[in-house]
Structures are given as C-alpha cells and as structure tokens.
Amino acid sequence: MGEFEKSIFNILVVDDDENVLQLVKIILADRKYNLVTAHDGQEALDKLGNFRPDIIICDILMPNLDGYQFRDAIRDRDEYYLTSFIFMSAKTTTEDRVRGIEHGVDAYITKPFDVVEFRAIVNSMIKKRLQLERLVNHDALTHVYNKRKIIGELDRELQRVKRYGNPLSILIIDIDHFKQVNDTHGHPEGDTVLATIAETALNSLRAIDMIGRIGGEEFLLILPETDLNGALIYADRLRMMIAALVIGANDIKVTISGGIATAPVHAVDREPLIRKADEALYEAKRAGRDRIVNAR
C-alpha cells in the first residue's frame, strides 16, 4: 500500500578480500538484507546492471577499479542519489578519512571491524534512507506518493504489461466542487478533506495497488492485474465510501468523480492511457459528477 515501507534492503559489498566478504555476510545475516558481493570496482559496476542497492559498502584498495574510482563512477548518476555509500578500509589516517568525505561517502568503517559498530552504521544508513525516500517520494499533505513517484511507478508497471500482457487499470479521481469547500470552510478544512480522502483511498487498496496525488484535488490510482470490470467495481465502492464520509469539524460531505482506463485494451503507453482516463473523468463531471466512467 501507499505507505509501502521497504522491508528488504539490497546491499552491495565490494572487497578484494574474500574473507572480508564472508565476514560481512555473517555480520549482516538477516532476512531483511539481500547481499550481493563483488571483488573489485569493475565487478561491482557490472553487478549494478541488474541489481539496485540501497547501500553500498566498499573497500578502498582493490585491483582494477579501486574504491575511489568506483565511487566516482556512480556518484553523479541519478539512480543512486538515494543509495548510501560506505567505505570500509584499514586506511584510517585523517588524510584517508578526509579523502573519503571529499568523495561524498556517507560513512566510514575501519578495519578490523567492530561488529556492533558495523551493524549500527548500517542500521542508521537504513533509517536515513527511509526518511529520504519518504521526503522525496511522498506528498507532504496527504502522505500518498507525489506526482513524480506515481508516474515513475506507472511507467514501471506498464513495462510489465508490455512484457507479460496482464491487464492493469488506472483510476483518476477528482473531488467534486473542491473549490467551494475551500471557499466555504477555509483552506485548513480543505486540507483535512484532501488528507481524509487520500487516507480512505489508501486504506481501500490492495498491497500491490498504488496511489499518488497528481494535482490539487486529483489522485491517480494504479491497479495492477486488474481488468476494466474489476476496476469499475473497486472504483464505485471507493466512490460510495467517500460519499458516506463526514469530514472535519464542519461535518463536510464531498463526492468524487472518476475516470478509468485499462492497459492494454485502451492504451499501453503512459500518456495515452492517462489521457483516456482523463477524458473519462471529464465525462463523469459533465454527466453530473459523483460517478465513475470508463474509457471507450
């Protein structure tokens, strides 16, 4: 669901000393860690082709590509902007540590390891990562995904549709006459309405579904493995749930309108699929609101 906290963390451990790799595997032996190892910077780069680490723990002195060079190779790549990078090294002079800091590493573990310190550093990196992820991916008011994140997720899900052909539906919902809510009750109450509706929708979703805020009072829901009929049943249930809410200090009642489009029947690319759902939403509005319409 939307609060979808990660529960498995991918960790890439890079060291030319096989004993160190084995030791780290023992220290981090936990179901929540998925460890991949590499013996030098070059092998690590190769592994990144089909592995997306949350944390990289990397030796400095290694053949082929050393720790500094590997760090520099990925430092400015967008896909690693949330990845924590930890150096582990016996190089512990001030100069070494400063050089690590200059390479933008998040932490420095000195060899030989103190097991307790090692685990503490990894745990604090994970906490930081979760906080960052929350900030970067979620809408501050409603706590569902923000537009950038939900669009990214839709692109990823549509790749799966193209590969496997399973249906996926999207639902765009818009709160009816939301401007009147703000005008009548003020923006703080309007914000409460937005947050309540987002929470209601979020709680109504299955674990694989996603919701994001894509406009002022507009939300995009992604329903993987769901055909048009399934999406219509879900959306109408959500519509009725929201119509039954009594929100905030002023007992505000609102309704939503929604438009559904399904891949691959209506479109398989993001833009045409969203356009179809938008057109259906527009039709729901024109037909009198408080209703769900599907794309044709």
The DSSP 8-state label assigned to residue 247 in this structure reads B
Bridge partners for 108 per DSSP: 87
Closer CB to Mg ion, 18 or 30, in the complex: 18
Cis peptide before 167 (omega within 30 of 0): no
Is 43 among the residues that bind Mg ion (CB under 5 A)?
no
Query: How many residues lie near Mg ion (CB under 5 A)?
Result: 4
Label the pairing between strands 55-59 and 33-38. unpaired
- Which is the catalytic residue, given 95, 217, 225, 271? 217
Residues 6+ apart with CB under 8 A from 3: 143, 202
| Residues 155 and 225 sit within 8 Å (Cβ to Cβ) | no
Is 135 among the residues that bind Mg ion (CB under 5 A)?
no
Q: Minimum Å distance from CB 97 to Mg ion?
A: 17
Backbone angles phi, psi at 187, to 5 degrees: -65, -35
Residue number of the CB closest to Mg ion reads 61
Q: Minimum Å distance from CB 104 to Mg ion?
A: 20
Q: Minimum Å distance from CB 110 to Mg ion?
A: 13
Bridge partners for 37 per DSSP: 13
Q: Binding string, 212-241, against Mg ion, x = CB under 5 A?
A: ------------------------------
Instruction: Show the beta-strand stretches assigned E in the chain.
Output: 9-14, 33-38, 55-59, 84-89, 107-110, 168-175, 210-213, 218-224, 256-263, 292-294
Closer CB to Mg ion, 61 or 208, in the complex: 61
The dihedral of CA 96, 99, 103, 108: what is its sign?
positive
Closer CB to Mg ion, 61 or 136, in the complex: 61
Q: Binding string, 92-131, against Mg ion, x = CB under 5 A?
A: ----------------------------------------
Closer CB to Mg ion, 69 or 204, in the complex: 69
Candidates 11-19, 25-33, 123-131, 281-289; binding stretch for Mg ion (CB under 5 A): 11-19
Q: Minimum Å distance from CB 16 to Mg ion?
A: 4
Residue choice 12, 53, 58, 59 for contact with Mg ion (CB under 5 A): 59
Residue choice 16, 43, 189, 279 for contact with Mg ion (CB under 5 A): 16
Query: Could you tell me which of 184, 153, 158 has the C-alpha nearest to residue 169?
Result: 158
Active site residue 157: no
Is 61 among the residues that bind Mg ion (CB under 5 A)?
yes
Q: Minimum Å distance from CB 62 to Mg ion?
A: 5
CA distances from 183 to 75, 128, 175, 206, 253 (A): 48, 39, 14, 34, 14
Site residues (CB under 5 A) for Mg ion? 16, 59, 61-62
Q: Which residues are catalytically annotated?
A: 217
